[in-house]
Structure 1
Amino acid sequence: MSLKFCNSTENIRGGVNCPSKLHLSAPLPFVGQKRMFARRFIDIIKQYPAGTVFVDLFGGSGLLSHITKYHHPRARVIYNDFDNYRRRIANIPRTNALLQSIRPIASEFPRNKLITGVARDRIIDVITREERDYGYVDYITLSASLLFSMKYRTSLEALRKEGFYNRIRQTDYPICSDYLSGLEIVSCDYMELFEHYKDTPGVVFLVDPPYLFTEAGTYSESWRLADYLDVLTVLAGHNFIYFTSDKSSIIELCEWMGRHQSMGSPFERCLRADFNASMNFNAHYTDIMLFTPPQ
């Protein structure tokens, strides 16, 4: 499969195409977005020279690519939008209208309380009509207003099986027309993208795969242990910024590899930054960012 580049939105700042406003979190909900790491990521990304080519292998919400382009407006930043986040961005007006239709129904119940009976049926009817008449519903964003504990669902069938709660966002999502400005957008397997750019001078790979042993239900493909190990093969010999968590055993595995000289660890030359995070009141973990020192 050949790489297919999409045109990003364009905003002119300082004579180049780039975002006019810096976002420190993704404009729409996304599992695993790096908002907690945003400022530390900025500190690192600003140290790379102007001619660097940044390749975001697991683009996700586009937050890392967006931040990179904002601080390196003249750099090439390639964003792998494998999960079609750009479609969600384009449909923010429709999503806002859908939430506006659901909001008065949900308000019949106290905030954060279970929505039951006829009201629940009415909400399902509103969503069903939206999908039938318009052909698209951003179920991940909708999940954030109806479900608890980051329990995102991606279809009406899956959503029907869940209890609904009055967690409806009270204001519209802002229209972010230039959030992806200046990015070179592709949608392909990360390894194909890596092969395309691995020999590019000055390339830096942004590597944020779905975390091992954590919820990856909103991603377009399921991930096995072998898939996570395959990701490590792109790190050797390249500059990169890699994300994982203490819920994963990847770092422990690589330390074991490092003790066996025939294998070695891809993280031997890395610096590390940690951030304590939580999914809810009783589920906590540590996000980890490993990066090769900018030259």
Structure 2
Amino acid sequence: MRKQYLSAPLPFQGQKRMFAKEYIKVLQQFPDGTTFVDLFGGSGLLSHIAKCQKPNSTVVYNDFDGFSKRLDALPVTNALLAELREIVDVPRHKPILGETKERVLSCVRKYERDYGYIDYITLSSSVMFSMKYATEFADLEKETLYNNIRTTDYPQCQDYLDGLTITSCDYRDVFEKYKDVPDVVFLVDPPYLSTDCKTYRMYWKLSDYLDVLTVLAGHRFIYFTSNKSSIVELCDWMGKHPELGNPFENCLRREFNAHMNYSASYTDIMLYTKAA
């Protein structure tokens, strides 16, 4: 009997483990044999559950963020964490400082040199403060490290992505390929607005987020968002004012870069109409 995961087997920012049981209930309305296309595959959890619940369905997993590569690297990740357990001698959840930090960094550098790849996101959950992530060695160097090292190996999960059709490309290309498949259902879980998206490969702007809405029109879908994005309220407002269009369409634009401190800045924008 195949194991069904209700959370991703490796750390992933934004995975839908809290939605898993409700998501399973929603899937029941679709017959087995339906084609499901996971446009923003992320950790693969939505695709994995869909395939477990609908074993005769084609489930397309767009692994744009390289989660499958992280799974392949799991033996190296476990070996690295085992070595770090031997190095770190500070109490759990306390900072790793001085010579011990240098030994940790040296160990990570050695593994990256020997194996050519480090799963920095999984590593981050063991040596960085909660909800902080490194994506490269330079991130580890500049951050304070903490002893949150996992005490046991991550379990092997070779069957997690079994049966999925795996691709890795822009979601628009995946949509174009499957948009005309009869009765297709799109799983749509884009990066949330107003949240930290550092671990995603794409740079996500408001216009990108709104572009996703064009995918929804005329298709069946399961869509995820949050109250921070206010996207539902925005769409509701747009529906009430269809005649408005873009009020800034013919405006001129000026920008000013402002700095709050050495590491934080923002851009002020002025939009204005030309004099008649």
TM-score by length of 1: 0.81
Equivalent residue, structure 2, for 1:220: 201
> How far 1:66 sits from its partner (Å)?
0.1
Q: Give me the whole-angstrom Cα distance separating, in 2, the residues matched to 1:128 and 1:46.
A: 47
Q: Give me the whole-angstrom Cα distance separating, in 1, the residues matched to 2:166 and 2:177.
A: 14
> How far 1:47 sits from its partner (Å)?
1.9
Stretch moving more, 121-130 or 47-56: 47-56
User: Runs of 4 or more off by more than 4 Å in structure 1?
Assistant: none
Equivalent residue, structure 1, for 2:111: 130
CA contact (8 A) 1:57 1:206 kept: yes
Cα deviation per residue 1:197-242 (whole Å; 9 max; x = unaligned)? 1111010000000000100001111111110000011001111011
Structure with the higher fraction of residues in strand conformation: 1
Q: Give me the whole-angstrom Cα distance separating, in 2, the residues matched to 1:197 and 1:171.
A: 41
Q: Which amino acid aligns with 1:245?
A: S
> How far 1:252 sits from its partner (Å)?
1.4
**Gap runs ≥5 in structure 1:** 1-12, 14-19, 264-295
Equivalent residue, structure 2, for 1:202: 183
> How far 1:104 sits from its partner (Å)?
2.1
Q: Which amino acid aligns with 2:3?
A: K
Which of these residues, 62, 74, 84, is aligned with residue 66 of structure 2? Answer: 84
CA contact (8 A) 1:51 1:202 kept: no
Equivalent residue, structure 2, for 1:10: none
Q: Give me the whole-angstrom Cα distance separating, in 2, the residues matched to 1:194 and 1:80.
A: 10
Equivalent residue, structure 2, for 1:64: 46
The answer as to 2:197 corresponding to 1:234 is no
CA contact (8 A) 2:33 2:54 kept: no
> How far 1:105 sits from its partner (Å)?
2.0
Equivalent residue, structure 2, for 1:152: 133
Which of these residues, 177, 186, 190, is aligned with residue 158 of structure 2? Answer: 177
Equivalent residue, structure 1, for 2:85: 103
Cα deviation per residue 1:126-153 (whole Å; 9 max; x = unaligned)? 0000001111100000000011131111
Q: Give me the whole-angstrom Cα distance separating, in 2, the residues matched to 1:147 and 1:252.
A: 36
SS of equivalent to 2:114: helix
The answer as to 2:30 corresponding to 1:48 is yes
> How far 1:84 sits from its partner (Å)?
1.0
Q: Which amino acid aligns with 2:77?
A: T
Q: Give me the whole-angstrom Cα distance separating, in 1, the residues matched to 2:42 and 2:231.
A: 20
Q: Which amino acid aligns with 1:52?
A: T
Q: Identity percentage over the alignment?
A: 61
Q: Give me the whole-angstrom Cα distance separating, in 2, the residues matched to 1:253 and 1:56.
A: 24
Q: Give me the whole-angstrom Cα distance separating, in 2, the residues matched to 1:185 and 1:219.
A: 18
Equivalent residue, structure 2, for 1:8: none
Cα deviation per residue 1:82-116 (whole Å; 9 max; x = unaligned)? 1111010011111000000001222x111101111
Q: Give me the whole-angstrom Cα distance separating, in 2, the residues matched to 1:207 and 1:249.
A: 16
The answer as to 2:237 corresponding to 1:252 is no
> How far 1:174 sits from its partner (Å)?
0.5
> How far 1:261 sits from its partner (Å)?
4.2
The answer as to 2:16 corresponding to 1:34 is yes
> How far 1:155 sits from its partner (Å)?
0.4
> How far 1:51 sits from its partner (Å)?
2.5
**Gap runs ≥5 in structure 2:** 245-276
Q: Give me the whole-angstrom Cα distance separating, in 2, the residues matched to 1:186 and 1:105.
A: 39
Q: Which amino acid aligns with 1:40?
A: E
Query: May I ask how many residue pairs the two structures share in their alignment?
Result: 245
SS of equivalent to 1:212: coil
